[in-house]
A and B are shown apart, each in its own frame.
Chain A
């Protein structure tokens, strides 16, 4: 055992190994390094865009009757209130770009409310300093069962688009 240690000590000083090489015993090839960097940049970009997105809760309830609309005046979420079949309600979201880079704005709707919700404008460019209002409208169709509450989430993504 002692001899083995002595042999190790007498050998050439080892080159500094990276984390990957220490774990796998193999060196990363150039194309693997490039792929790794591209993957990391894409991941960080997606992470930033997702983190920077405005997120809103959305909900609407179906009530009995004709032409009845009950609006909840909250600004914290996209609450379309209580709607009877055949009625509609609209809420507006203001999107601004305070950065010097043009932004590509894309709105994603998820959840059961997304099938009822329409957007006045989606997938557009917002130049620096610009402000844009986007209207969300919910129409309650005849096939919506009374008493049902439809919920969902709305994501407003702002993706840097310097070449637009």
Chain B
């Protein structure tokens, strides 16, 4: 009886930890990074070699005044999200370009910018391969 209770207690603790990580982590990241979209999976090689297909990157919310040329930003478009580097900042729009692309993207309105990649020690915070899970799940 005592062993069964101990087993159930252990199980409850593990379930609580898993649930905390699954549901709590995205909420925590949203709060910490000031954005409703704190993570993004890289689905193409347009930012190679800085970001690779399958990387999971962290996004931080950013205001218009904090954006700089060279930042890697995430912006909304009709087909989803794009993660490219800022090459020009204008009054109402900014222009981005994928490092691996030859052409610039069409101008993007500031209100469409979701955020920029979160940096740790001057480098983009990314988890290689973890983005494949998100990509796989979204294809299902």
Contact = CB atoms under 8 A, between A and B. Distances in A.
Given A141-B45, A141-B48, A143-B48, A115 B99 contact: no
Interface residues of B, number: 11
Interface string A102-146: 000000000000011000000000000000000000010111100
B49 A142 contact: no
Contact of A142 (B50, B52, B53, B99): B99
Contacts of B100: 141-144
A144 B101 CA distance: 10
A115 B45 contact: yes
A86 B102 contact: yes
A143 B45 CA distance: 11
Contacts of A86: 102
Interface of B is mostly: loop
A116 B100 CA distance: 10
A135 B82 CA distance: 28
A139 B45 CA distance: 10
B17 to A, nearest CB: 27
A151 to B, nearest CB: 14
B102 to A, nearest CB: 5
Contacts of A139: 45
A116 B52 CA distance: 10
Interface string B93-121: 00000011110000000000000000000
Interface string B73-105: 000000000000000000000000001111000
A141 B101 contact: yes
Nearest to A145: B49
Nearest to B97: A142
A88 to B, nearest CB: 12
A141 B100 CA distance: 5
A155 B13 CA distance: 42
A116 B102 contact: no
Interface of A: 85-86, 115-116, 139, 141-144
27 contacts: A85-B102, A86-B102, A115-B45, A115-B48, A115-B49, A115-B52, A115-B53, A116-B45, A116-B48, A139-B45, A141-B45, A141-B46, A141-B48, A141-B99, A141-B100, A141-B101, A142-B99, A142-B100, A142-B101, A142-B102, A143-B48, A143-B49, A143-B50, A143-B99, A143-B100, A144-B49, A144-B100
